[in-house]
Structure 1
Amino acid sequence: MAASDAKQRRHHFMLVHGMCHGAWRCGAPATAPALDMAGCGAHPARLADVRTFEEYSRPLLGAVAALPAGEQVVLVAHSHGGYSVALAVERFPDKVAVAVFVTASMPAVGRPMAATSDEDLTLGLMLIKPANAFTTGNPDEVVMRDEKLLTEEGYGSSWRVFVVVEENCGIPAEFQRRMVAQSPGVGVRVITGADHMAMLSRALELVQLLIRIADHSQA
């Protein structure tokens, strides 16, 4: 590959973890910073002090907002991280080359983000480690319930790709495809032999897939 081509194919990734987890890399290059959402991983805030989904997602929103003019990022969400990525795309559609949902929650335009929550899944994950789904029981939460939040002009204008994992016991394949069906035009890729933690069970395959998706976004 020529030097000019290599430079053109250099991508800026941001990886967004799911509920109960923290930053993940899955063997990605140094151009793929993995962010801790507020109250998670090594983030200094206590989860109990993070009252709203807006506060929870601020590390990602701040990172995307800080991108230099003209630079675009490939946002990669895992599991519950899909909500934060959707919010970032809605706020900064011009800064996102493609949003990739790796067996992640993928809300649809014109519906509240909380509408894609699977209550059994949420309960199960909350029993593993303290977490906050930001969907019920909090009078301060408005973002997750706002049916007008995600628009065609913002979130809907970005290229989105959903990575289906058939062997996922956390979010069953049927539920993954139901989310895809609610968002016409979303690209679909499949990873076989992986479980919900695809970045661990099929790390190299996932990295290669993300690079191909990112390459396509520049084609």
Structure 2
Amino acid sequence: MEQRQRHLVLVHGACHGAWQWYKVATMLSSAGHRVTALDMAACGARAERTEEVPSFEDYSRPLLDALAVLPPDEKAILVGHSFGGLSLALAMERFPDKVAAAVFVAALLPAAGKPMDVVFQQASPQEGRPEGYFMDCEIGTSGDAQRPVQMFKFGTQFLKKNVYQLSPPEDLTLAAALVRWSRGFRADAMLTQAVLTAERYGAVSKVCVVAEDDALASADCRRLMASQNPGTEVVVLQGADHMPMFSKARELTELLMEIADKYT
């Protein structure tokens, strides 16, 4: 059977950029698919700084703009990692007719009818974080002294122990060199208000990819998020850490191609 070309749009996680998809994007492209790996605002190779991004919607603007210009007869497969799941959710609410399916890879997966920031507590309950958990991560503020912008950046030792612990060491080295300051936009109205509707966001097909050995957020918490979204397909990647695009790159790529064939 002749394989049809699919369009997959890849969205990175916090502190990362489009570069994190280099292995998966290469394999998808080599298989004949169209791949768009995006840098969100103030991420990856983009010039602006995180304190210059006023809102979560502005942060997600590259994804929103990419969907806005799709031809009327084209639907994309959205793939979001970690914090990128929230950008996927906003894009699905805005452009449900442009999304064939959304794949949440070790990602925050919010529920329709609830504020998106609920998933932060689900993913990282305070009682589950031992003292010193964040190790060499950096936390800072910038911008106007009256309205400071809270920022964070993953430290190399934290990445090694809790994010890339099963990934090739050269990918950890790459990450340590390229991670940037990021924001959680925890006070942003787009996250604190119930902006996701069952009629739009809820109507788009979803796949939750659970990384079984994710040390950043447990597999159980990913399954909990999926259970709050009726009809969500759950797929488990064994032996994957929080970065399946590195620790299980080929397996994740093959899964994405299967999902693309199934939902388009």
TM-score, length basis structure 2: 0.75
1:174 aligns with 2:177: no
Number of matched pairs:
208
**CA RMSD after TM alignment:** 1.8
Higher relative contact order (CA 8 A, sep 6+): 2
User: How far, CA to CA, are the matches of 1:33 and 1:41 in structure 2?
Assistant: 14
Deviates most, 44-53 or 73-82: 44-53
User: How far, CA to CA, are the matches of 2:212 and 2:50 in structure 1?
Assistant: 32
Q: Which runs of 5+ in 1 are unaligned?
A: none
The answer to whether the 8 A contact 2:223-2:234 is kept is no
Q: Which runs of 5+ in 2 are unaligned?
A: 138-151, 155-179
User: How far, CA to CA, are the matches of 1:53 and 1:127 in structure 2?
Assistant: 17
Aligned to 2:16: 21
Aligned to 2:240: 194
Aligned to 1:143: 190
Aligned to 1:212: 258
1:143-196 deviations in whole A, cap 9, x for unaligned? 11111x101111101000000111000111121111112112101111101100
Aligned to 2:184: 133
User: How far, CA to CA, are the matches of 1:78 and 1:103 in structure 2?
Assistant: 6
User: How far, CA to CA, are the matches of 1:22 and 1:130 in structure 2?
Assistant: 11
TM-score, length basis structure 1: 0.90
Aligned to 1:112: 115
2:95 to 88, 92, 96: 92
> How many angstroms does 1:14 deviate by?
0.4
- SS state at 1:97 partner: strand
1:104-141 deviations in whole A, cap 9, x for unaligned? 000000000011114569994735152100013xxxx2
Larger radius of gyration: 2
- SS state at 1:174 partner: helix
Aligned to 2:141: none
